[in-house]
């Protein structure tokens, strides 16, 4: 492709959208990934796209309008990456609920995906789901979706729909539903334990159920967690489907 000013402007706008997505999307936005690697991936994808995808000529008047085009493309990439990445917060919420019920909520670690303090079980689920998604090449799906976004949302045509709050409301509903589906086995087992402890406290009031109950709940919680480790791929499937749904919905918002 011959180098012209128009092609260079289109390349810059493609690069801005890709960079916004790479720095906010799952996997690519991890703190462990060097910034130079993210920048190199963004430039490489932009160079490939400008030679393989056809784009309409740009229409703008002056540097101010071009600046608005740059801002709109950056927001388009950030919105798609952010709405895809927030599905990870479901794992964090589910893990914190589990640790609160089992008794591990006092211990916290840094979550490398969300860059926030999280509990042990939340980190366990997050790391396992992250590994499963990498093994199944989910990051390839995100790159393909980013390419499709240029075909669906042309350069300079990205407009944020005011109905974005509806997407957030839908996510909040899925946030609680998926989280409770993840923790349901452990919650059911601990509910039985709490019921037994309540009966024992009535039968033998001289027993200190607080001390006994904490140890039993930790023991039962760990046993159930070990038993349901085989269900982690199903948890990853829940998160994957939510990511895909949010990514498609974010594209609809920008169209």
- DSSP per position, 10-44: HHHHHHHHHHHHHTTSTTTT-TTS-HHHHHHHHHH
Specify the pLDDT at position 1.
54
Quick one: what percent of the chain has pLDDT higher than 70? 95
Most confident of 4-18, 104-118, 195-209: 4-18
Digit-coded pLDDT (tens) for 173-201: 888 988 888 888 888 888 888 888 888 87
| d(C-alpha 125, C-alpha 122), whole Å | 5
Q: What is the mean pLDDT of residues 214-225?
A: 84
- pLDDT above 90 covers a percentage of the chain that reads 4
28-76: pLDDT as tens digits: 888 778 889 888 999 999 888 888 877 777 777 778 888 888 888 898 8
pTM of the prediction?
0.83
Q: Which has the minimum average pLDDT: 20-24, 133-137, 162-166, 249-253?
A: 162-166
pLDDT score recorded for residue 21: 92
DSSP state letter for 231: G
248 or 164: which carries more pLDDT confidence?
248
pLDDT digits (tens, 9 = 90+) for 139-153: 888 888 888 888 888
State both tokens at 132: 């499963």
The Cα 225–Cα 238 span in angstroms is 18
The Cα 9–Cα 15 span in angstroms is: 10
Q: How far is it, in rounded angstroms, from Cα 77 to Cα 25?
A: 9
Radius of gyration of the chain (CA): 23
């Amino acid at each position: 492709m011959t180098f012209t000013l128009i092609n260079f402007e289109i390349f810059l706008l493609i690069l801005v959208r890709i960079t916004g997505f790479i720095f906010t999307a799952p996997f690519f936005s991890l703190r462990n990934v060097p910034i130079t690697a993210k920048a190199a991936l963004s430039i490489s994808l932009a160079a490939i796209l400008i030679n393989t995808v056809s784009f309409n000529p740009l229409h703008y008047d002056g540097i101010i309008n071009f600046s608005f085009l740059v801002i709109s493309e950056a927001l388009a990439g950030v919105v798609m990456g952010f709405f895809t990445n927030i599905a990870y917060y479901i794992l964090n919420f589910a893990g914190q609920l589990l640790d609160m019920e089992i008794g591990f909520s006092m211990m916290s670690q840094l979550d490398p995906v969300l860059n926030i303090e999280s509990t042990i079980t939340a980190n366990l689920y997050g790391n396992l789901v992250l590994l499963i998604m990498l093994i199944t090449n989910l990051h390839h799906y995100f790159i393909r979706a980013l390419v499709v976004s240029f075909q669906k949302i042309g350069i300079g045509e990205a407009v944020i729909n005011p109905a974005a709050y509806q997407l957030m409301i839908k996510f909040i509903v899925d946030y609680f539903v998926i989280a409770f589906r993840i923790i349901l086995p452990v919650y059911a087992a601990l509910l039985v334990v709490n019921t037994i402890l309540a009966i024992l406290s009535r039968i033998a009031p001289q027993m200190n159920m607080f001390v006994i109950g904490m140890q039993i709940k930790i023991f039962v919680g760990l046993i159930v967690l070990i038993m349901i480790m085989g269900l982690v791929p199903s948890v990853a499937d829940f998160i994957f489907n939510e990511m895909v749904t949010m990514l498609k919905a974010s594209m609809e918002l920008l169209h």
